[in-house]
Amino acid sequence: MTATPILKDRPRLIAGLKTLAVSVLAASLAAMFPLAGVRIQQQEDAAHWQNLASRYLEAEDALDWSAPSSLRLAALRVDSNAETGVARVASRPLAELRTFDRTHIERARLEAEQLDCLATAVYYEARGEGFAGQVAVAEVVMNRVAHSAYPDTVCGVVYEGSTRASGCQFSFTCDGSINRSPRGRPWRRAQLVAEHVMLGFAPPVTRNATHYHTVAIDPHWSSSLVRTRTIGEHIFYRFPSRRERAEMERDL
């Protein structure tokens, strides 16, 4: 028996009707929701945070290192509120929640150069350190950014004095080390630590330190500062208060 033309073209007709229905629905939704573009952007923002946190989890195995359990994002769920534009990252235990608003998201996108400067400092200054030691070095950079005595950007702090014959604040910026480009797993670690610190995942560990040096040396400036703690191969210091400064001068 030969099929009639209508029956023969039925699959094509159904497919065409489905396509038309989808087009009509999409047009209707666009008319009903003028803020659809904003909501799509918010969904993309949530996906951005999910991808970022997932990379932390993957890096722990790939790089054979692990952050302290109180810091690591051990289980991930990202929820996006279309009304407030807030993305929430949940970690294990569930009581430990970290919430980000759109200002954090924009900062993460716009400060790629600053993030690279921080990762570079971590790499050259502390690539042989463990997680805590690398976080501590990154924290010193951020403490300087927040201090009135230093430039107000990460790159400004890291490269301060590097154009002078002497006076660079971080030795790698003027001793030729930076001519050897960062690479391999140590560079990836440094990037992850920089992201961790800049995005506020890590609690303070240096007690407001703005200076540090390795345990192998004793620079002249250390006596004018307050020692805060030793982490890994570095000793950390902060500026003294007025009272502490007066006591130091009295003891001279």
> Which element (helix H / strand E) includes 132?
helix 131-146
Can you give the pLDDT at residue 202?
85
Whether residue 31 is contained in a domain is answered as no
Q: pLDDT tens for residues 12-48? A: 665 665 565 555 555 554 554 555 566 666 666 666 6
In-domain check, residue 223: yes
pTM above 0.85, yes or no: no
Q: Are residues 229 and 191 in the same domain?
A: yes
Whether residue 131 is found in the same domain as residue 243: yes
Asked whether the beta carbons of 49 and 76 are under 8 A apart, the reply is no
- Residue 233 near residue 214, CB atoms below 8 Å: yes
**Boundary of a domain, candidates 109, 135, 157:** 109
Please say which residue of 109, 141, 160 terminates a domain. 109
Do residues 120 and 193 lie in contact, with contact meaning Cβ atoms separated by under 8 Å? no
Closest CA to 144 of 163, 165, 125, 166: 125
Please tell me whether residues 151 and 215 are part of one structural domain.
yes
Name which of 131, 127, 152 is nearest 142 in CA terms: 152
Q: Is the domain of 237 the same as that of 134?
A: yes
* Residue 159 covered by a domain: yes
| 128: containing domain | 111-251
Give me the mean pLDDT over the 37-62 stretch. 58
117 plus 230 within the same structural domain: yes
Asked which of 18-22, 103-107, 225-229 is least confident by mean pLDDT, the reply is 18-22
Q: Over range 197-219, report the average pLDDT.
A: 93
Asked if residue 221 and residue 130 are part of one domain, the reply reads yes
Same domain, 178 and 243: yes
Q: Is the four-CA dihedral 216, 218, 221, 223 of positive or negative sign?
A: positive
By C-alpha distance, which of 204, 238, 222, 232 is closest to 127? 232
Using the 3D structure, point to which of 82, 109, 136 is the last residue of a domain. 109
